[in-house]
Copies of this chain bind each other. A is one copy, B any other.
Amino acid sequence: MKISKLLGERIESKPTKSMARSHEYLLRAGYIKQMCNGIFSLLPPAVRVQRKIEKIIREELNKVDGQEVLFPVMMPKELWEESGRYTSIGQEMFRLKDRTGHDMVLGMTHEEAAIHIAKNTVKSYDQLPFMIYQIQTKLRDEARARAGLIRTREFTMKDAYSFHNSYEDLQDYYNKMHDVYERIFKRIGMKNVVSVKSDSGMMGGSINHEFMLLNPIGEDSIVICDKCGYRANNEVATAIIPKNEIETQELSEVYTGEKHSIEEVCEQLNIKSKQTCKAVCYYAVNLKKYVVAFIRGDLQVNETKLRNLAKDEIVPVEIEEGCELIAGNIGPKVFSENVLTFYDASLKDGCFVVGANKNGYHFKGFTFGRDFDVEFNDIAKVEDGQICPNCKEGHVIISKGVEVGQIFQLDTKYTKSMNMTIHNKNGELFYPIMGCYGIGIGRAIACVAEESSDDLGLKWPISIAPWQVYLCPLRVDDENIKKQADALYEKLLADGFEVLYDDRNASAGIKLTDSELMGIPIRVVISPRTLKEDKVEIKIRGEQEASLIELKNLEEKLKEIIEKEKS
């Protein structure tokens, strides 16, 4: 490709507002163009990267007998009613009416479509297991699109669905897919990826793993043990709370007046926050009830765990005046059926200052078990330095992560709700067991860009670089240089190299800066100086030193570098 005709401009000036590195470079190097909030067009270099990632994914999925299908982007409401997700999924799903007024949805995931294609098509156990996958546009009305391609409202996704006769077979295939995912991320050059146990969210099902790129750009918190290697998303990691060494006290009421916050109460009573029990209030959207989480004052509520316990979507809420909950003085109690209460395990040991459910009053010395009987649950966020919930010896570190892939054991959630049955050996009907497996390709591009970049620009791994070689003649106004560079370009193309040819009559500064910004792995410079010795200068993106090599040895050298970079 000649850069003079390549669609896209390289922008020298840096953005004025702070931006994720991948977002900035993908914009400035001419890979993406934003159309509106969370929606982008991909320019030719980005499409080249995407196609290479897709090729790697196809190769790896085909190795485990994946069959490529294509589901529609638009689906009728009825299909999603069968699974129950037409109502259980909220605003993230785009909905519309067709010209006849029929309700349609745009696919944010395709479990329903996978069942639709397999139901009545697959009739017998001996056709199982099989796995189908597609690479297709997905649409999700994200409340908060962010960071360029990291979280968008439209993106290309690989999603796969497997069907099994038994849980053992699913577990077996799930393990295989876990390995496939590790290979895929390795091959596309993403380095710092770990798999962690996670919450299944809207997918449902039991066991599932997220593949997390550990990177400060991430919004997820990943809990990693420094001893046993245990890894989990904080959403599901069990918190092991250091015991409170506080002597038992008698229960007594104390006047706290207008002091409502933990800080104020601690100050008045001269205690630490871990000696208090706070009440954190939410509202369960569909149940239309308050949800109160009681937890030790120094800890934070893990909303995912609470959501799963409440079995409903929850949102933080201000307590209305006049209701049975006395804001600022809420304490353990049996409330009416309009209030759900959950108690964190951190309250098991010790005694606490708690709200007295009476305006202006708290209790001191409140001891669970003695003063009030409750069932404890784990609803606390794990925090840096806590004991590992797995080995109980190491300490955990919390890292930021971006989810780059996720695999799920869906079990029979969808086959049951959508009534897909097949015959077993004895001719009896049963519900096949499903797994599903996703990778967002746009996000993968952004994550590699985030991880593989430096202060000068992108640094694509050679396996997914839009071009392998940036051919950069200096002084193309010199006819001899131009002739030799043109000839070299044609020769490299003919011999199968992927070359971006900087044929512009521009300054060395612009050309070299652009080559670094665009992140092409190998730069070959021809100039009057190098040609005097029949040489070219080769530089690998990210390395300090360039080297001069004989023109006649160039192709051999390129092959060597490409092979080395690939492995």
Contacts and interface: CB of A to CB of B under 8 A. Distances in A.
Interface of A: 1, 4-9, 30, 33, 35-36, 39-44, 46-48, 50-51, 65, 67-76, 78-79, 91-92, 94-96, 98-99, 106, 113, 116-118, 121-123, 126-127, 130, 132, 134, 136-137, 139, 141, 143, 153-154, 156
A106 B96 CA distance: 11
A534 B6 CA distance: 57
Nearest to A6: B67
A99 B91 contact: yes
23 contacts: A5-B127, A7-B69, A7-B130, A7-B132, A35-B72, A39-B76, A41-B71, A41-B113, A41-B117, A42-B69, A42-B70, A43-B117, A44-B68, A47-B68, A47-B69, A47-B134, A48-B68, A72-B154, A74-B94, A74-B139, A91-B99, A92-B99, A98-B153
A139 to B, nearest CB: 6
A121 B74 contact: no
Contact of A69 (B44, B123, B137, B139): B44
Nearest to A117: B41
A7 to B, nearest CB: 6
Contact of A5 (B33, B41, B130): B130
A130 B3 CA distance: 12
A351 B172 CA distance: 86
In the complex this chain forms, how many copies of it are found?
2
A153 B121 contact: no
B35 A75 contact: yes
Contacts of A143: 99
A126 B505 CA distance: 12
Nearest to A30: B121
A267 to B, nearest CB: 42
A81 to B, nearest CB: 13
Given A7-B132, A121-B7, A121-B9, A69 B95 contact: no
A153 B94 CA distance: 17
A76 B35 contact: yes
B67 A7 contact: yes
Given A74-B153, A94-B96, 14 more contacts: A5-B65, A7-B67, A7-B69, A7-B130, A9-B121, A30-B121, A33-B116, A36-B79, A39-B72, A41-B70, A44-B67, A44-B68, A72-B154, A73-B139
B99 A96 contact: no
Determine which residue in A47, A92, A127 has the highest number of CB atoms from chain B within 10 A of its CB, and name it: A47
A91 B97 CA distance: 11
A33 B117 contact: yes
Contacts of A137: 73, 136-137
Given A67-B7, A121-B7, A98 B41 contact: no
A46 B211 CA distance: 31
A69 to B, nearest CB: 6
Contact of A40 (B72, B78, B106, B123): B72
A143 B36 CA distance: 29
A47 B70 contact: yes
A490 to B, nearest CB: 15
A106 to B, nearest CB: 8
Contacts of A79: 35-36
Contacts of A5: 65, 67, 127, 130
Contacts of A74: 39, 94, 106, 139, 153-154
Contact of A122 (B7, B92, B116, B121): B7
A69 B9 CA distance: 14
Nearest to A91: B99
Top 7 closest pairs, chain A to chain B, by CB: A96-B96, A42-B70, A44-B67, A36-B76, A91-B99, A47-B68, A99-B141
Contacts of A117: 7, 33, 41, 43
A559 to B, nearest CB: 23
A79 B48 CA distance: 26
A258 B68 CA distance: 65
A30 B121 CA distance: 9
A524 B555 CA distance: 43
Contacts of A42: 69-70
Contacts of A4: 126-127
Determine which residue in A6, A30, A42, A70 has the highest number of CB atoms from chain B within 10 A of its CB, and name it: A70
Contacts of A70: 41-42, 46-47, 50, 156
Contacts of A65: 5
A90 B1 CA distance: 40
A50 to B, nearest CB: 7
Nearest to A46: B70
A156 B134 CA distance: 13
A422 B510 CA distance: 22
A425 B334 CA distance: 82
A48 B70 CA distance: 10
